C-alpha cells in the first residue's frame, strides 16, 4: 500500500514538472514577415547577453505574380527575379561584423555573443527600376530558444519527458543568468547615476563660484568708477 502511494506521488511530481516545463519553456517563435522597398534598409535588434547563442535564418518570399512560374519549378526554393534579392549585415553592439551576405535569396547565420547589448541585423534591397517590394521572412532566436531540441532528443535517444525536463532545466538556468545580468546592469546604472549626480553637484558649485566671482568683479568695478567720479 505504501509502495503504491509512493508511486502515485512520483507520477504526480512528474506530471507537475511536465506542466511547469510546458509553461516556462519558450514556445517556438514564428518567423517575422517584412516588406522592403528597393533601395531601402530595415534593421531589427535583439538584446543578447554574453555567452548566449543566437541563430537566424531568412528567405525572400516569392511575389504573388510569380506564383505560376515558381510552382512549375522542380526545386523547393524557386529562383526569383533579380529584383527580389536582399543583403544582410549582422553587427555586435560595438560594431563588429558577425555575418554579411549580399544579393541573396536566402541564408542563415549563427554566433555566440561575446558582447552584451543590442545586436543589429540590417536588411537592404538593391535599387531597381521600376521600384519593387521585396517580402522576406526572418527567424531570429537567442538563448534557450536557439537550441535545436529535436536533435537533442535524437542524439540522446531520450523520451519526450526527459526533453521537457531538459528544457525546464535550461529555462531555469537562463532565468537565473538573466537575473544576474539584470542585477549587474542595475548596478551599472546606479553607479552611472551616482557619477552623474556627483558631476552635476560639482558643476553647480563651479557655476555658483563663477557667478559670485563675476558679481564681486562688477561691484569692485562700480566702486572704482564711483570713486574716480568722486560720487562716493
- Name the average pLDDT for the chain: 77
Domain that holds residue 172: 162-231
145 and 127 both lie in a single domain: yes
Average of per-residue pLDDT across 169-194: 85
| DSSP notation for the chain | -HHHHHHHHHHHHHHHHHHHHHHHSPPPPPPEEEEEETT-EEEEEEEE-TT-EEEEEEEEEPPGGGHHHHHT-SSSSPPPPTTS-EEEEEE-TT--EEEEEEEESEEEEEEE-SS-EEEEEEEE----SS--EEEEEEEEEEGGGGS-HHHHHHHHT--HHHHHHHHHHHHHHHHHHHHHHHHHHHHHHHHHHHHHHHHHHHHHHHHHHHHHHHHHHHHHHHHHHHHHTT--
Q: Cβ contacts of residue 45 below 8 Å, gap of 6+?
A: 118, 119, 120, 121
Taking only the tens place, the pLDDT of each residue in 80-121 is: 777 788 999 999 999 999 999 998 989 998 888 888 889 999
Convert the pLDDT of each residue in 48-72 to its tens digit: 888 888 888 999 988 765 554 444 4
> Is 56 a domain residue?
yes
Its sign, for the CA torsion 127, 61, 87, 82, is negative
Last residue of a domain, one of 139, 161, 183: 161
Q: Tell me the pTM.
A: 0.56
Domain end position, chosen among 118, 145, 161: 161
User: Is residue 18 domain-resident?
Assistant: no
Query: Of residues 19 and 122, which shows the higher confidence score?
Result: 122
Do 103 and 141 fall into the same domain? yes
User: Measured between alpha carbons, how far is 187 from 171 in angstroms, rounded to an integer?
Assistant: 24
In a domain, 27, yes or no: no
Average pLDDT over residues 199-223: 91
Q: Does residue 5 sit within a domain?
A: no
Neighbouring residues of 104: CB distance < 8 A, sequence distance ≥ 6: 85, 86, 87, 88
96 and 135 share a domain?
yes
Q: Domain of 112: which CATH number?
A: 2.60.120.380
Between helix 149-156 and helix 160-228 the angle, nearest 10°, is 140
Query: How many separate domains does the chain show?
Result: 2
Q: What is the pLDDT of residues 8-30, one digit of tens each?
A: 444 444 445 445 444 444 444 55
Q: For residues 134 and 75, what is the distance between their CA atoms, to the nearest angstrom?
A: 20
Residue 192 maps to a domain: yes
Which of 161, 186, 201 lies at the terminal end of a domain, its last residue? 161
Mark whether 197 and 136 lie in a shared domain.
no
pLDDT of 36 > 80? The answer is yes
Amino acid at each position: 500500500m505504501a509502495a503504491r502511494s509512493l508511486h502515485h506521488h512520483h507520477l504526480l511530481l512528474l506530471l507537475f514538472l511536465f506542466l511547469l516545463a510546458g509553461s516556462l519553456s519558450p514556445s517556438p517563435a514564428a518567423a517575422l514577415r517584412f516588406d522592403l522597398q528597393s533601395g531601402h534598409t530595415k534593421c531589427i535588434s535583439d538584446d543578447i547577453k554574453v555567452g548566449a547563442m543566437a541563430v537566424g535564418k531568412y528567405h525572400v518570399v516569392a511575389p504573388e505574380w510569380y506564383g505560376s512560374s515558381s510552382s512549375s519549378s522542380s526545386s523547393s526554393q524557386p529562383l526569383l527575379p533579380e529584383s527580389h534579392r536582399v543583403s544582410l549585415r549582422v553587427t555586435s553592439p560595438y560594431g563588429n561584423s558577425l555575418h554579411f551576405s549580399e544579393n541573396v535569396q536566402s541564408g542563415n547565420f549563427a554566433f555566440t555573443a561575446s558582447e552584451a547589448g543590442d545586436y543589429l541585423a540590417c536588411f537592404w534591397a538593391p535599387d531597381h527600376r521600376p521600384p519593387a517590394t521585396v517580402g522576406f521572412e526572418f527567424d531570429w532566436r537567442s538563448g534557450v530558444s536557439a537550441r535545436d531540441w529535436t536533435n537533442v532528443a535524437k542524439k540522446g535517444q531520450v523520451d519526450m519527458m526527459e526533453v521537457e525536463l531538459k528544457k525546464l532545466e535550461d529555462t531555469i538556468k537562463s532565468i537565473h543568468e538573466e537575473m544576474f545580468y539584470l542585477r549587474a546592469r542595475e548596478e551599472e546604472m546606479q553607479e552611472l547615476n551616482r557619477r552623474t549626480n556627483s558631476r552635476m553637484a560639482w558643476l553647480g558649485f563651479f557655476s555658483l563660484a563663477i557667478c559670485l566671482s563675476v558679481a564681486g568683479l562688477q561691484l569692485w568695478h562700480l566702486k572704482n568708477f564711483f570713486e574716480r567720479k568722486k560720487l562716493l
